[in-house]
Amino acid sequence: MKNNSFLKIFVAISYFLMILVNALANILPINNNNTGEISNAYPNLFAPATLTFSIWGLIYFLLAIYTIYQFGIFQKNQAKINENLFKKIGVFFSITSIANILWIFSWHYRLIGLSLILMIVILFYLIKIADLLKKQKFSIRETFIIKAPFSIYFGWITVATIANATTFLVSFNWNGFGLSNQTWMLIILLIGATIGIIRTITDKNVFYGSVLIWAYFGILIKHTSIDGFNSQYPMIINLLNLCLFLFFITNGFILIKKIK
């Protein structure tokens, strides 16, 4: 029990440090550049509209609720299964928080290759958490406090990993094997959508699927807005609309099955 208490405290500390470093990254800012400025330094067709990144606020808020909840606050009758689950999640969540902190420093100091490795670490452990969660049966209350935070985080990091990989390729002027940027963008969008839909269906997770809608809608806004690509790539816009349609169908199908 003492070990579990220590782990919960460590989860809270690592979470707090993650929030602090992410805030200071833009307040100071670290290495005289905010996070968005680094992204803009490596322009690519996968980057979404700036508004899209506001999802981080929701992610950090929900993770804060979970971090508090694990201590027994807001819990009515704490089940033993929750204690076992908190222990397993705690280890993985702490690793993602530490990797997130290291990612900020690597990103701000333009160590793009290292940032990609750290992003993959975060993704890997969020997959581990998702695999744990899909085996559990939650009440509605637990679904929003335990499952939703990590599902939304997982969904966003799925997209962020693809974006980070794209930035990495741009950082050393990869020629794309002679294919155009638009062709590679179409391939990347299809790969991302396929992975996302398969994972949404496998986990029966509309929270995860909803993040894909948000991310692809953000990319669509960037491609259609005057301040963005101003509809220069109609094939990309058409594919984004198709992907969004498929995401909505997938989420709708899962919701209908859950209601039944």
The DSSP result for 145-213, as a single string, is: IIIHHHHHHHHHHHHHHHHHHHHHHHHTT--GGG--HHHHHHHHHHHHHHHHHHHHHHHT-HHHHHHHH
Residue ranges of domains in the chain: 2-259
Dist. CA 30–CA 137, nearest whole Å: 42
Label residue 3 exposed, middle or buried (CB < 10 Å: 0-12, 13-18, 19+).
Answer: exposed
Instruction: State the residue for tokens 């950082």.
Output: 171
User: What was the pLDDT predicted at 175?
Assistant: 84
User: What was the pLDDT predicted at 114?
Assistant: 98
Q: pLDDT digit of tens for each residue in the chain (260 aa)?
A: 556 889 999 999 999 999 999 999 999 999 999 888 898 899 899 999 999 999 999 999 999 999 999 988 777 665 555 788 999 999 999 999 999 999 999 999 999 999 999 999 999 999 999 999 999 988 888 999 999 999 999 999 999 999 999 999 999 888 888 889 999 999 999 999 999 999 999 999 999 999 999 999 999 999 999 999 999 999 999 999 999 999 999 999 999 988 87
User: What was the pLDDT predicted at 257?
Assistant: 87
User: What was the pLDDT predicted at 222?
Assistant: 96
Instruction: Judge whether 251 and 200 are in contact, CB under 8 Å.
Output: yes
Q: Packing angle between helix 148-171 and helix 112-133, nearest 10 degrees?
A: 160
Instruction: Judge whether 87 and 7 are in contact, CB under 8 Å.
Output: yes
Dist. CA 45–CA 250, nearest whole Å: 25
Q: How many CB atoms lie within 10 A of CB 187?
A: 12
User: What was the pLDDT predicted at 115?
Assistant: 98
User: What was the pLDDT predicted at 217?
Assistant: 98
